[in-house]
A = this chain, B = another copy of it.
Amino acid sequence: MPDPRISILPFLRARDCDLLALTAHQEAALAACAEPLALSKGALIYHAGDPLEAIYNLEEGVVKTCAPFPGGGLRVAGFLGAGDLFGLAEDGRYVHSAAAVTAVRLFRFAIRTLVNLLWMDPSLDLTFLLKLCGELREADRHAALLMRKDAIGRLAMFLDELRREPWGKAALRGALFLPMSYADIASYAGLTREALSRAFHRMERAGIIAFSGRRRVAIKDERRFARLAAGAPPEDVAAAFA
């Protein structure tokens, strides 16, 4: 059975520290209290407001976290892939709901045993600390995305983010796979489904991206795509619109 794996991006320069990989001892300790789970697409992992019971490490598949809007409605807070940790809580209650976007395999760490583990092997703390810094940078990029006012720019940033994720790129030829529904993407990007659909199609008609099947998209014009993702002035997307 495979062991838990936590993917970490460096906080310090990579060459200055070797904290990025878990030692064999750490992996063993984690594996000892990890409870493997397999869930099918759409399954609810936990619900916002529920009492905190466990933290999860995603091994395979995609998970979305949603937060209830005060006053009703749900917003997608983020998408998670292999190597990610989730289960953020406040005052003993989950702040998000988590649901499987695809079929997933994950490890469950009961919070009690995890706390004990962190006490026994404090070097693990640093691992979690660095992982959390990564989540923070991710949340900040999400905020950056939401600051864009144009739908196409938001979409470009979303796709760019997806592309950078190791789990986002489909196996073949750098085409992106979109496991989640348009409703989920739209919610994450702060748009309506309609606006998202139109943005996708404007990009496609402009020749910047191309769909292969329903959920597979490839970037065709790297230069213009990068310009969009970087937030350049609206440019001549309107011209290419014809």
The answer to whether B144 touches A142 (Cβ under 8 A) is no
A74, A115, A192, A240, most chain B CB atoms within 10 A: A240
Whether A143 is near chain B, meaning CB under 8 Å from some CB there, is: yes
- Bound-state CA distance A140–B136 (Å) is 9
Given contacts A88-B137, A122-B125, A240-B43, contact A143 B144 (CB under 8 A): no
| A26-B77 Cα distance, complex, nearest whole Å | 35
The answer to whether A238 touches B77, judged by C-beta atoms less than 8 angstroms apart, is no
Q: Is A184 an interface residue (CB 8 A)?
A: yes
CB <8 Å contact, B140 and A95: yes
Chain B residues within 8 Å of A72, by CB: 231-232
A89 and B11 contact, CB distance less than 8 A: yes
Q: Which of A17, A236, A237 has the most CB of B within 10 A?
A: A237
Residues in B with CB closer than 8 Å to A149 are 190
Taking a contact as CB atoms under 8 Å apart, the answer to whether A144 and B67 are in contact is: yes
* Stretch of A127-135, A165-173, A200-208 on the interface side: A127-135
Q: How far is it, in angstroms, between the C-alpha of A135 and the C-alpha of B52 when the chains are bound?
A: 18
Known A118-B126, A235-B192, A239-B74: A92·B133 in contact at CB below 8 Å: no
Residues of chain B with a CB closer than 8 A to A136's CB = 88, 132, 135-136, 139
Quick check: B183 and A238 within 8 Å, CB to CB? yes
**B-contact bits for A1-22, CB 8 A (1 contact / 0 none):** 0000000011111101100000
